[in-house]
Every structure is written in C-alpha cells, then in structure tokens.
Amino acid sequence: MEEQGFLHHKEALAKLAVHVHKITTVIVLLSFAGYGMAGWLWFKGQTMEALVVATLSYLFFRLFRQISLMVVRRIVVFNEELHPAMEWLDAQIKEQGAQQTMSELDRRLFPRD
C-alpha cells in the first residue's frame, strides 16, 4: 500500500473503512439469519426450499467483500469529500486485491496494541 497516499487520505479512509465494517456486519447477520431460516424450513420438511435458502445465504456471505465495497461506492456518490479516497482505494484494490488491501487498511487504521 502506497504510504504517501494512505497518509494523505487517512481520515477519509477511516470513514470508508467504518462504512465497510458496518455493511459487512449486516451481510453476516443476514447470511446467518438465512441459515437459520434454512434450518427451520428443513425442520418443517421443506428440504428443497431449505437447500435453496442455504445456498443463497452461502453465496451472499461468500461475496460479502465485493458487496460491501459496492455499497460503499454508492454511499461515496452522495459524499464528494470521500471521492478522492475511494479512487485511491480502488486503485490499491486493483493493484493488490481486495482482501490484501482491506486487511492492510484495517491494520494501519485500527492497530491492536
């Protein structure tokens, strides 16, 4: 991750990271609620419906990073001060990948002492 760009956009990146974490939390909660619903459907004898709900929940959970970044990009549309930081973040994601970029961003913004 480019150090100078990170320092320049640090405050806006922190806001973006908080949005990503909030959205990710909602996605995880919805996914596990879907798993619960699938279990309930299975218990009720609706095996095929349970399988469909469980599969959709799994796919939703599996794509949480892409979905959360997509939603954050939509949020940035309404907040012009975050545009430069999102463009920089997108460039970092394109260069290093979403998993590595977001992990390093979290490590730098929210260090664990």
Say yes or no to pLDDT of 112 above 90.
no
pLDDT-based confidence at 3, cuts 50/70/90?
A: confident
User: Which pTM was predicted?
Assistant: 0.83
Question: Domain map of the chain by residue range?
Answer: 3-106
Mean pLDDT of the chain: 93
Say yes or no to pLDDT of 113 above 70.
no
Say yes or no to pLDDT of 5 above 70.
yes
Give the pLDDT mean for 11-18: 94
Q: How far is CA 90 from the centre of its chain?
A: 13
- pLDDT per position as a tens digit, 35-65: 999 999 999 999 999 999 999 999 999 998 8
Say yes or no to pLDDT of 89 above 70.
yes
